[in-house]
Chains A and B, each alone.
Chain A
């Protein structure tokens, strides 16, 4: 089957839509590309973090003297080396960034809140000495009772993590501190009226486990600190400007005194949109006077970096006999980990988004517990809510005897549909993905015994935001495009392609580069499915600025008005016909740039608006082994409205990768804790992500409904693909075994227990 593309608007592009080899590719297939842990500096020390063995404890004291006395140890830091930040919400967020929480998560002060919570860090002349020194740091803990599960953490008698945390968003304001950080809600219409009109109601509770982003590259940073107060950090992250800002805040430094140089990043998926090691590396470098390298082990990654929330989701849907949806209600309880900030609100906003439901509510609860602080994971909050809604719709379709795709088509959101969170949709392509799914051969292929087919849809907003780009024309007509966004999935290629398209030259003549914080103007991080959209827009505008200059230079050379020069196919053409003028190539104009006014370049910084939301519909076939409960994914098709695929292979890659993560989330991935609140499966053997032999080929269909908010029609694509798979897989299993799956992961022991109790 493979990969298909459906164009719904036509435009003649020369470069956009082709598949050139990515510019950084050779370095990546030869091992030359430098990731965070690949950097070394002369005189560099090795760092190691000291972490709590307890899930919840008060820190009565930390004695670093023995560690400091060990020969080869050059510095030890604790929270005392960082400013004690007040609990102010100084910037905004879907859950506000409280830098005090970020700081406390980077290194604990007064209390440790999860096994693995950092309490100190050491720097020494070798890894072995650093490890020995870490073991010599003595921490006096007063162990406290802990709580892991979100429902347990909500109970009145639960151990309280933060004595100053009072639930926001409830009336009256609570008198007692609790683990319930916040409640938010959304209302559309009147659900009491809506449910009263329903002929049929489906109401279910679902649960999902916490899952980790699972990037193969552990966090790594190298920091140096010069005597004049300038810190330089080499690290892999999803945003060098974010690292700079967070380190400045956490260390009490001026932003201008920190330079962050982005390494290649070995996967992020949202998990590297915050800092863990960087502030500690700088603090150690500052104290020791030497560069310091800090790298996490895989165990540390699992114990101490953000997974996404586990959840409890209750969904109630009401419909008419003919399948028209009349009312929807959802209650979401998400676990935030040790500090507030789960994406429960986003779950509430996205769950019903693909549907035109006149009456709906979402109630979203953010709850803390003694687990690592959660971090963003690809469409944060959406997959869990979609799992509930899409499973409920599947059940509804079964009860009505309706094709589940037709049920969705009947109620599909379109341009002008009112969302639960307020605004109406502009141009979207959801119905087109459903139509493509319905027409796809996968939907009508025959199934065998113990096999089932599931369909599910999903939504994500996609964001724009600030981005900068600079386009420089070299003397020989080659071009550099500099942007400030780390390349996680092949975006460098897309930047080069968009510039080449505007300039009218071969993409091989355009060299994309990623600048550090000192080399390019501010760019918001790589995340939110924003780079091809927002940074792409900046690249296009900077390229257009260059084209304007090229036309002006040609006009000078020809002694005509700039308005009498057109730019076409990489050449300046004179529209004035009084004499013959040979078109001038970019190369020719570049060559004489010094004579016509100096070097030619364009730099643009924008705050990109107009990001179009994305929708996906996935089809999944599974086969269940009734003797072991093992689920095999036989066939998978991911269909998504991608706006316009600049480089189709990398867009397909996003769909395939997101689907694979969702399949792992549905079938195997979860955190296993013991009675002491310690993580039992902090490694890839037992935190079971999909391997090559678990998956079939993942077919993709790229539906292109161009986004009017971008010059080439681009929509963000990276996050949508992880939203449908949880329910697509669960619906397939439910149909294969005749038992509705409401708990993820559907691991073999769980499924087998269900089958056994059903006597199959």
Chain B
């Protein structure tokens, strides 16, 4: 199997790794770099549990090849908090009980962060459609949407 040498930046840190041509970015993050916060729920880009930001853009890492990260910036759930300080979204998910089993939570937080990074004042409809690519089976989405809107409001206040 042909392996490629890739250099990239993950959560602000330079990394390098070897990976097969067909390895996905998700495989690389989980199996090569030990970043198991991104989850594989389906492997076909339908559930969003593997959501990461690639040069600031929300993608399903199961649909990106490991080699495609060459020279690019990747942000995973592990890079959302600022050291020990939780991002307002993370804190709001906790305060608003917006998780039950927690498997979809990393994907939702990364996706919600991508939304708020470019739209700090989304309506409920905008939040729901933006997050339509993230599946949750436990919560019915109610508390997740509330948490995102509440976090957005807090972030606007602090800005």
Give residues in A with beta carbon < 8 Å to B. Answer: 19, 21-22, 24-26, 28-35, 37-38, 128, 213-218, 264-269, 295, 297-298, 488-490, 647, 649-650, 652-653, 656-657, 659-661, 683-685, 689-695, 697-698
Given contacts A30-B78, A32-B37, A216-B104, 9 further A-B contacts (CB under 8 A): A31-B35, A33-B102, A38-B30, A216-B47, A267-B137, A689-B137, A692-B127, A693-B131, A695-B141
Q: What CA separation (Å) do A715 and B126 show in the bound complex?
A: 37
Report A-chain residues with C-beta under 8 Å of the C-beta of B142: 656, 695, 697-698
Q: Which residues of A contact B127 (CB under 8 A)?
A: 692
Which residue, B20, B37, B141, B143, has most C-beta atoms of chain A within 10 A?
B141
B129 → A minimal CB distance (Å): 5
> Which of chain A's residues have a CB closer than 8 A to the CB of B39?
35, 37, 216-217, 266
Q: Are A128 and B46 in contact (CB under 8 A)?
A: no
In the complex, what distance in Å separates the CA atom of A221 from the CA atom of B137? 21
- Chain B residues with CB under 8 Å of A266's CB are 39, 41, 101-104
User: B105-148 vs A: 1/0 string, CB under 8 Å?
Assistant: 11001000000000000000101110111111111111111100
Contact of B128 among A32, A128, A692 (CB under 8 A): A692
Q: Which residues of A contact B131 (CB under 8 A)?
A: 692-693
Measured between beta carbons, the chain A residues less than 8 angstroms from B137 are 213-216, 267, 269, 657, 660-661, 689
CB of B36 within 8 A of CB of A38, answer yes
Give the CA-CA distance A33 to B78 in the complex, in Å: 11
Residue in chain A with minimal CB distance to B130:
A692
* With contact pairs A35-B39, A37-B40, A691-B132 given, residues A267 and B86 touching in the complex (Cβ less than 8 Å): no
B58-77 at interface with A (beta carbon < 8 Å): 76-77
B90 near A653 (CB under 8 angstroms)?
no
Q: How far is the CA of A649 from the CA of B146 in the complex (A)?
A: 13
The 5 A-B residue pairs with the shortest CB-CB distance, nearest first, are A31-B37, A266-B103, A660-B140, A28-B102, A649-B97
A268: chain B residues within 8 A (beta carbon): 101
Residues in A neighbouring B155, C-beta threshold 8 A: none
Chain B nearest Cβ from A386, distance in angstroms: 19
Q: Please, which residues of chain B bring their CB within 8 A of the CB of A657?
A: 100, 137-140
Contact B106 A31 (CB under 8 A): yes
Chain A residue with Cβ nearest B127: A692
| Residue B8 is within 8 A (CB to CB) of chain A in the complex | no
Residue from A22, A28, A217, A489 in contact with B41 in the complex, judged by beta carbons closer than 8 Å: A217
Cβ contact within 8 Å between A683 and B94: no
Q: Is the CB of A216 within 8 A of B36?
A: no
State which of B43, B100, B134 has its C-beta within 8 Å of the C-beta of A650: B100
Once the chains bind, are A691 and B40 in contact (CB under 8 Å)? no
Q: Which residues of A contact B47 (CB under 8 A)?
A: 216, 298, 684
**Contact call A128/B80, Cβ cutoff below 8 A:** no
Are B86 and A264 closer than 8 Å at their CB atoms? Answer: no
B97 proximity list for chain A (CB < 8 A)? 19, 22, 490, 647, 649-650, 652-653
Known: A31-B106, A216-B104, A490-B97. A267 touches B138 (CB 8 A): yes
B49 at the interface (CB under 8 A from A): yes
A335–B105 CA distance with the chains assembled, in angstroms:
34
Interface residues of B (CB under 8 A from A): 1, 20, 30, 35-44, 46-47, 49, 76-78, 80-81, 86, 90, 93-97, 99-106, 109, 125, 127-129, 131-146
Chain A hits for B94, CB < 8 A: 21-22, 25-26, 29
Q: Is there an interface contact between A684 and B44, defined as CB atoms closer than 8 Å?
A: yes
Q: Closest chain A residue to B131 by CB distance?
A: A692
- A213, A490, A691: most-surrounded residue (chain B CB, <10 A): A691
Question: Whose C-beta in chain B lies nearest to the C-beta of A301?
Answer: B42
A660 touches B141 (CB 8 A): yes
B77 with A488: CB separation less than 8 A: no
Q: Are A489 and B132 touching (Cβ within 8 A)? A: no
In the bound complex, CA of A689 to CA of B105 (Å): 17
A689 CA to B81 CA in the complex, in Å?
30
Give the chain B neighbours of A692 by CB distance below 8 A. Answer: 127-129, 131-132, 134, 136, 141, 144-145
B77 to chain A, nearest CB (A): 4
Contacts of A31 in B (CB 8 A): 35-38, 76-78, 106
Contact for B46 among A35, A264, A683, CB less than 8 A: A683
**Within the assembled complex, what's the spacing in Å between the Cα atoms of A35 and B95?**
22
| Cβ-defined contact, A217 with B105, below 8 A | no
CB nearest neighbor in A for B76: A31
Judging by beta carbons under 8 Å apart, are A656 and B99 in contact? no
Q: How far is the CA of A464 from the CA of B78 in the complex (A)?
A: 39
* Minimum Cβ distance to chain B for residue A667 (Å): 14
**Whole-angstrom distance from the CB of A107 to the nearest CB of chain B?**
24
CB of B135 within 8 A of CB of A689, answer yes
Chain B residue nearest to A683 (CB atoms) is B44
Chain B nearest CB: distance from A691 CB in Å? Answer: 5
Asked whether A265 and B140 contact (CB < 8 A) given A38-B36, A216-B47, the answer is no
A267-B105 Cα distance, complex, nearest whole Å: 12
Would B145 and A697 count as touching, CB distance under 8 A? Answer: yes
Q: With the chains together, A488 CA to B38 CA distance in Å?
A: 19
Contact of A264 among B93, B101, B135 (CB under 8 A): B101
Does B80 lie within 8 Å of A30, measured CB to CB? yes
B106:A216 contact, CB within 8 angstroms:
no
Interface centre among B40, B46, B103, B125 (most CB of A within 10 A): B103
**Chain A minimum-CB-distance residue to B125:** A693
**Which residues from A are CB-within-8-Å of B143?**
649, 652-653, 656
Contact A216 B41, beta carbon cutoff 8 Å: yes
Q: Residues of A contacting B46 with CB < 8 Å? A: 683-685
Can you offer 16 A-B residue contacts whose CB atoms are under 8 A? A29-B105, A30-B86, A31-B38, A35-B103, A38-B30, A38-B36, A215-B101, A216-B103, A216-B135, A218-B40, A649-B143, A652-B143, A653-B138, A660-B140, A693-B125, A697-B146
- A488 (CB) vs chain B CBs: closest residue: B101
Q: Which residues in A have their C-beta under 8 angstroms from that of B109? A: 29
Given contacts A128-B20, A697-B145, contact A653 B100 (CB under 8 A): yes
* Most chain A beta-carbon neighbours within 10 Å: one of B37, B41, B95, B97: B97
Task: Indicate if the CB atoms of A264 and B140 lie closer than 8 Å.
Answer: no
Residues of A within 8 A of B101 (CB): 215-217, 264-268, 488-489
| Cα of A218 to Cα of B41 in the assembled complex, Å | 6
**Contact B103 A217, beta carbon cutoff 8 Å:** yes
B116 to chain A, nearest CB (A): 15
Asked whether B138 lies within 8 Å of A298 as measured between CB atoms, the reply is: no
- Chain A residues in 8 Å Cβ range of B104: 216, 266
User: Considering the chains assembled together, what is the distance between the CA atoms of A652 and B139 in angstroms?
Assistant: 9
With A22-B94, A649-B97, A653-B100 in contact, is A28–B105 under 8 Å at CB? yes
Closest Cβ of chain B to A655, distance in Å, is 8
Task: Name the residue of chain B whose CB is nearest to the CB of A489.
Answer: B100
**Cβ of A684 and Cβ of B135 under 8 Å apart?**
yes
A687 to B, closest residue via Cβ: B46
CB distance from A734 to the nearest CB of B (A): 23
Interchain CA distance A697-B146 in the complex, whole Å? 9
Residues of B within 8 A of A218 (CB): 40-41
Residue pair A691, B42 in contact (C-beta under 8 Å): no
The answer to whether A34 and B36 touch across the interface, beta carbons within 8 angstroms, is: yes
- Closest-by-CB residue of A relative to B81 is A30
A128:B40 contact, CB within 8 angstroms: no
Closest chain-A Cβ to B45's Cβ sits at a distance in Å of 9
Contact A656 B139 (CB under 8 A): yes
List residues of chain B with CB within 8 A of the CB of A33. Answer: 102
With A298-B41, A657-B138, A692-B145 given, is the CB distance from A29 to B103 under 8 Å?
Answer: no
